[in-house]
Structure 1
Amino acid sequence: MKILYLCTGNSCRSQMAEGWTRHLHPDIECWSAGVVRHGMNPDAVRVMLEAGVDISAQTSKTVDDLPDVAFDYVVTLCGHAAENCPFFPSRARRVHRGFDDPPSLAAGLPTEAARLDVFRRVRDEIRAMVAGLPGSLED
């Protein structure tokens, strides 16, 4: 199985999904990308490492940066990516599984602990979705 996780900036949610998939399902090939490239979010890297998954070597990229792969699934993780998802000529099945955007929600919070709690909540929600693969991608 080959999965592409697509988000707006490939800085947080899609990176977490890629990291969880590699960690929980080494038999599944996966990539992540963004509609645009925002760079890796350090808080995403930090909370994933807390959970035992190191995504620090992953890089932020767009779909144009990916190898030519016939994906089985293209999973959009935010509304913007779902609305702006590029066309994939393969047999890829598009699936939307939306998650809150941690950087946006955390931006106005007064403490680092509160900010990181938002990232942890979304990290754990993404983990639950990934843990259920491939069934979690069915309607």
Structure 2
Amino acid sequence: MKKKVAFVCVHNSCRSQMAEGWAKKLGSDVLEVYSAGTEEYPQVKPGAVQVMEEVGVNMSKHYPKLLRDIPEEIDILITMGCNVVCPYVPCKHLEDWGLEDPSGGPIEGFRNTRDIIKEKVEDLIKRVKKGEL
């Protein structure tokens, strides 16, 4: 049975979207993947879409979602480093990845964040497959 994982940040426009993209690409056999934000935002950041496209993850159809758009019961909740009070979502396991938001900075910041998120998603998938989560 797949674990429901949700990646959450404030706008669901960059980090949580990249995490959703990686998790769907790398862990679709063990994860049911969602992402959401706590505040409305008009679009996914173009820099996030661009750097994910560079590594073969198409996010062109992604759009920001709110917490109300994801299931009420989540197995694993990952907050990305909200810099505010992170939202409460009922879950069985909670982690905060504490990632800096690259928005507004150079494209290299987006690439660095993308690569850190990939490593964290790979580790998450390994732990799910081992039955640790």
TM-score (norm 1): 0.82
Gaps of 5+ in 2: none
Query: What residue is the counterpart of 1:21 in the other structure?
Result: 23
Q: Whose helix proportion is higher, 1 or 2? A: 1
After TM superposition, where is structure 1 displaced by more than 3 Å over at least 4 residues in a row?
Answer: none
Query: What residue is the counterpart of 1:110 in the other structure?
Result: none
Q: Which one of the candidate residues 66, 75, 78 is aligned to 2:78? A: 75
Contact 1:37-1:60 at 8 Å conserved across structures = yes
Contact 1:6-1:14 at 8 Å conserved across structures = yes
Using the alignment, how far apart are the partners of 2:60 and 2:97 within structure 1? Answer: 24
Contact 1:8-1:35 at 8 Å conserved across structures = yes
TM-score (norm 2): 0.85
Using the alignment, how far apart are the partners of 2:68 and 2:117 within structure 1? Answer: 24
What is the deviation of 1:69? 4.4
Q: Secondary structure at the match of 1:92?
A: strand
Query: What residue is the counterpart of 1:5 in the other structure?
Result: 7
| Residue 65 of structure 2 corresponds to residue 61 of structure 1 | yes
Query: What residue is the counterpart of 2:33 in the other structure?
Result: 30
Q: Whose strand proportion is higher, 1 or 2? A: 2
Query: What residue is the counterpart of 1:125 in the other structure?
Result: 116
What is the deviation of 1:56? 1.2
Q: Percent identical across equivalent pairs?
A: 35
Gaps of 5+ in 1: 107-114
**Letter matched to residue 80 of structure 2:** L
Contact 2:77-2:89 at 8 Å conserved across structures = no
